[in-house]
């Protein structure tokens, strides 16, 4: 406490409890009444849960009506259709699964013949045909 705070408390006739009090905030209720029903051991868990869910929905910007609706699937009527995609083994680009270029030996899928050729050039040592000459 500063001396001026103590003087103000003495002049106003307030009891000094030893606790710091905010001089800008006045307490209208006695300290023993503050705290609500929790100090008395009363807690409505269902009401608290409902209030939490309402606050969460408001924070997310959702209304309670939209909460139970499922998102609409993309179709020809709502936009472009959803198609299966695959990833190229060489460049990792996503492409439509219907346009696969597959390596017969490794069974890897590629987005184009260019990626397949790049793969073959990088891993050519694995693609050398076995020796056809017999050694005796």
Q: What is the pLDDT of residues 99-108, one digit of tens each?
A: 899 998 888 9
pTM: 0.36
> Mean pLDDT throughout 71-84?
67
Enumerate residues 6+ apart whose C-beta is below 8 A from 5. 23
Mean pLDDT in the chain? 76
Report if residue 58 sits inside a domain.
Answer: no
Angle at 58 between CA 54 and CA 62, to 5 degrees: 105
Enumerate residues 6+ apart whose C-beta is below 8 A from 82. 73, 74
> Mean pLDDT throughout 4-19?
64
Report if residue 73 sits inside a domain.
Answer: no
Q: Could you give the C-alpha distances from 15 to 22, 91, 104, 111, in angstroms and in order?
A: 14, 77, 91, 82
Confidence of residue 126 (pLDDT cuts 50, 70, 90): confident
pLDDT of residue 131: 55
Report if residue 79 sits inside a domain.
Answer: no
Report if residue 65 sits inside a domain.
Answer: no
> Mean pLDDT throughout 109-116?
93
Confidence of residue 23 (pLDDT cuts 50, 70, 90): confident
Share of the chain above pLDDT 70, in %: 60
- List the domain range (segments joined by +) for residue 92: 85-124
Overall number of domains in the chain: 1
Report if residue 43 sits inside a domain.
Answer: no
Q: Which has the closest alpha carbon to 23: 41, 43, 9?
A: 9
User: Considering only 71-75, 97-101, 112-116, which range has the smallest mean pLDDT?
Assistant: 71-75
Report if residue 100 sits inside a domain.
Answer: yes
Confidence of residue 8 (pLDDT cuts 50, 70, 90): low
Q: Which has the closest alpha carbon to 112: 131, 88, 92, 128?
A: 88
Exposure of 63 in the CB half-sphere (CA atoms within 13 A): 3
């Amino acid at each position: 406490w500063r001396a001026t705070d103590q003087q103000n408390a003495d002049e106003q006739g307030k009891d000094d409890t030893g606790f710091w009090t905010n001089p800008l905030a006045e307490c209208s209720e006695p300290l023993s009444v503050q705290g609500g029903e929790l100090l008395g051991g009363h807690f409505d868990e269902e009401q608290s849960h409902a209030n939490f869910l309402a606050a969460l929905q408001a924070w997310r910007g959702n209304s309670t009506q939209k909460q139970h609706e499922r998102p609409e699937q993309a179709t020809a009527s709502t936009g472009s259709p959803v198609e299966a995609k695959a990833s190229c083994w060489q460049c990792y680009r996503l492409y439509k699964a219907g346009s696969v270029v597959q390596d017969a030996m490794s069974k890897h899928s590629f987005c184009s013949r260019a990626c397949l050729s790049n793969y073959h050039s990088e891993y050519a040592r694995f693609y050398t045909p076995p020796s056809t000459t017999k050694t005796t």
